[in-house]
Amino acid sequence: MINYKPYVTVRLRCNYWFTNNLAAYLDIRNLTEHEDISRAITQPALGRQMVLGLDLEF
């Protein structure tokens, strides 16, 4: 059994609604820039990530 040091990850998400069915978003992940990849074997930590996208509602 391995004991890992505890850590906190923080993310910020902003949504802007154009219509009732269309929204744009900005998602900033890992604001604390935690980069211990030993816990994320399937998805390595890449530091801070910014994602822009559109949400469509049907």
Provide the residue ranges of all domains of the chain, joining segments of one domain with +: 12-56
Give the Cα separation of 11 and 50 in Å (integer). 10
- Per residue in 1-26, pLDDT tens? 777 777 777 889 999 999 999 999 99
Cα 45 to Cα 18, 33, 54: the distances in Å are 32, 9, 24
pLDDT of 44 > 60? The answer is: no
- pTM score, whole prediction: 0.63
Please give the structure tokens belonging to residue 15: 């949504």
